[in-house]
């Protein structure tokens, strides 16, 4: 029996990594085999992507999106698919929806980017932890890494709207990320429980 593939998405500062870890602990506490991973990955390709995001490396917006896709192809083949085939539930901190949303925020042609990403496996469940750009900026402004590539209010508004639009197109679940981490976590647990009961 295949494991379930669950992805958690959202703006920087939404608590995507926190919620991914909380969900992993929750599923493990229920005796379910669970694997937590994230994108960009720790591979060489993922490291290149992170270098662009932190402005250490200068690439065009389209080139960056292709890097994300190359990292994803490797990630699926080497990590995600083998785990799922063994019946292990995989929780991924960011996936294709981040690529699409942030691509739109960078004015990348959506049809082009969507076409590339639809070749990848769709998750069994996608969750968007939704926060407004003002909250994203207030939560991330103090990080030691400094201002990230997308930390601009206008772009973040485009990204947020892209997530909300995709929630309808891809049937993603939207959770209010302005609540406390515990409240958000409980909401996500209920959504995931319904998936696992099917």
Q: pLDDT per residue over 65-115, tens digit each?
A: 999 999 999 999 999 999 999 999 999 999 999 999 999 988 999 999 999
Name the pLDDT band for 37 (thresholds 50, 70, 90).
Answer: very high
Residue 88: name the closest of 12, 32, 142, 19 by CA. Answer: 32
Q: Are 94 and 7 in contact (CB under 8 A)?
A: yes
The percentage of residues in the chain with a pLDDT greater than 70, rounded to a whole number, is 95
- The pTM for the full model equals 0.92
Q: pLDDT per residue over 153-175, tens digit each?
A: 888 999 999 999 999 999 999 99
Q: For position 106, what pLDDT does the model report?
A: 87
All domains of the chain in start order, with CATH? 5-197 (3.40.50.300)
Q: For position 154, what pLDDT does the model report?
A: 86
């Amino acid at each position: 029996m295949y494991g379930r593939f669950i992805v958690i998405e959202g703006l920087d500062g939404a608590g995507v990594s926190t919620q991914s870890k909380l969900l992993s602990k929750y599923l493990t506490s229920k005796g379910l085999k669970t694997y937590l991973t994230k994108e960009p990955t720790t591979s060489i390709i993922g490291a290149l992507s992170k270098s662009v995001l932190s402005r250490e490396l200068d690439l065009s917006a389209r080139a960056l999106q292709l890097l994300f896709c190359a990292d994803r192809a490797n990630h699926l083949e080497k990590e995600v698919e083998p785990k799922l085939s063994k019946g292990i539930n995989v929780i991924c901190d960011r996936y294709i929806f981040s690529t699409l949303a942030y691509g739109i925020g960078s004015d990348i042609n959506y049809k082009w980017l969507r076409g590339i990403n639809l070749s990848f496996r769709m998750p069994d469940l996608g969750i968007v932890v939704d926060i407004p750009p003002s909250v994203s900026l207030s939560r991330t402004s103090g990080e030691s890494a400094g201002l990230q590539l997308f930390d601009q209010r206008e772009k973040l508004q485009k990204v947020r709207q892209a997530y909300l639009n995709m929630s309808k197109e891809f049937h993603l679940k939207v959770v209010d990320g302005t609540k406390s981490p515990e409240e958000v976590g409980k909401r996500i647990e209920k959504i995931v429980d319904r998936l696992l009961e099917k």
